[in-house]
Amino acid sequence: MLNGLLKLIYDLNKSGIITIQRMCFTCSNYQLEQGVHYCKLLKSQLAENELRIDCQEHELQI
């Protein structure tokens, strides 16, 4: 359920409906491989409940 909510927030953000800018899904440090979330900055896998929507270390994808 949390993953679905995060996906919804991501889609709303991409559509310009909301302006959250610092979530994992829009971060250049974020990777998703074979269903595993990973943060290159933290050098750590992220459980779904560890995905962030307002991370101070966020780096926007360009």
- Distance of alpha carbon 50 from alpha carbon 23, whole angstroms: 11
Q: Which residues on neighbouring strands pair with residue 37, listed in sequence order?
A: 32, 46
Residue 54 Cβ vs ligand SF4, minimum distance, rounded to whole Å: 9
Residue 24 Cβ vs ligand SF4, minimum distance, rounded to whole Å: 3
Residue 27 Cβ vs ligand SF4, minimum distance, rounded to whole Å: 3
Which lies closer to ligand SF4 via its Cβ, residue 11 or residue 45? Answer: 45
- Distance of alpha carbon 34 from alpha carbon 45, whole angstroms: 12
* Both tokens assigned to 55: 């991370």
Contact residues toward ligand SF4 (CB under 6 A) are: 24, 27, 29-30, 39, 41-42, 52, 55, 57-58
